[in-house]
Amino acid sequence: MTVSHHGARHVAIIMDGNGRWAKKRLLPRLAGHKAGVEAVRNIVRAAGDLGIEAMTLYAFSSENWKRPEEEVSDLMGLMKRFILSDLDEFAANDVKLKVIGNWRALAPDVVALIDNAIERTAGNKRTTLAVALNYGAQDELVRAATAAAAAGEITVEAIEANLDTADMPPLDLLIRTSGEVRLSNFLLWQSAYAELYFTDKLWPDFKPADLKAALDQFARRDRRYGGL
């Protein structure tokens, strides 16, 4: 395993710009989403080589249901194909799959596929790939606080222990592509002291070299966690 020089253990990405990528090329939105899946493959492969222990990708937010029905259906179909086609590659690259968000509310066939993929990759150790599906950070915080209250006390530690990412390293770096500069209800608690990195590149154009550039910039930043 490659030892990281940048110090980032957990990197999250808001993968934005598939639709604009397709529009620029006069292609249907689905073509942008397909190109986005290819970018995911390349970035996940690179993550292990760059010494990243955990990566969380914002694949489908709880707000994405507002999109046209046909696009939502296309996205779900793409996700199913991605899981089926990449399971062997996850095994070959020692990638452990994790899914965060209210994903059990998805269609039963999707839930069954995800359950199988999680089970098959459970023993992998090089990189954890967390995919945020039907995810919203405010919903996650309500669930975590409810669980903490049920256990007896709402504290910072109790909420952290009940977050979807509780078994992952703290978030170090959050990247957003396509020039938008907002969090869009993604990892709000986890981002409290994470470094933020925004790039104008559309997600399908985001390459391993761009990930390395973000990590290099992260390595040069001085993280003070509220101190001097």
Taking the C-alpha atoms of residue 128 and residue 146, their distance in angstroms, rounded to an integer, is 26
pLDDT of residue 228: 59
pLDDT of residue 4: 64
Per-domain boundaries in the chain: 10-219
Is residue 64 annotated as part of the catalytic site, yes or no?
yes
pLDDT of residue 188: 98
pLDDT of residue 92: 86
The catalytically annotated residue of 49, 64, 124, 185 is 64
Class (C level, CATH) for 10-219: alpha beta
Q: What is the pLDDT of residues 47-68, one digit of tens each?
A: 999 999 999 999 999 899 999 9
pTM of the predicted model, to two decimals? 0.94
Low pLDDT (below 70) residues in the chain: 1-5, 227-228
The catalytically annotated residue of 16, 86, 164, 172 is 16
pLDDT of residue 1: 47
DSSP the chain: -PPPSS---EEEEE---HHHHHHHTT--HHHHHHHHHHHHHHHHHHHHHTT-SEEEEEEEEGGGGGS-HHHHHHHHHHHHHHHHHHHHHHHHTTEEEEEESSGGGS-HHHHHHHHHHHHHHTT--SEEEEEEEEE-HHHHHHHHHHHHHHHT---HHHHHHTSTTTTSPPP-EEEE-TT--S-TTSSTTGGGG-EEEE-SS-GGG--HHHHHHHHHHHHHS---TT--
pLDDT of residue 205: 98
Is residue 86 annotated as part of the catalytic site, yes or no?
no
> Longest Cα pair distance anywhere in the chain, in angstroms?
56
Taking the C-alpha atoms of residue 192 and residue 207, their distance in angstroms, rounded to an integer, is 27
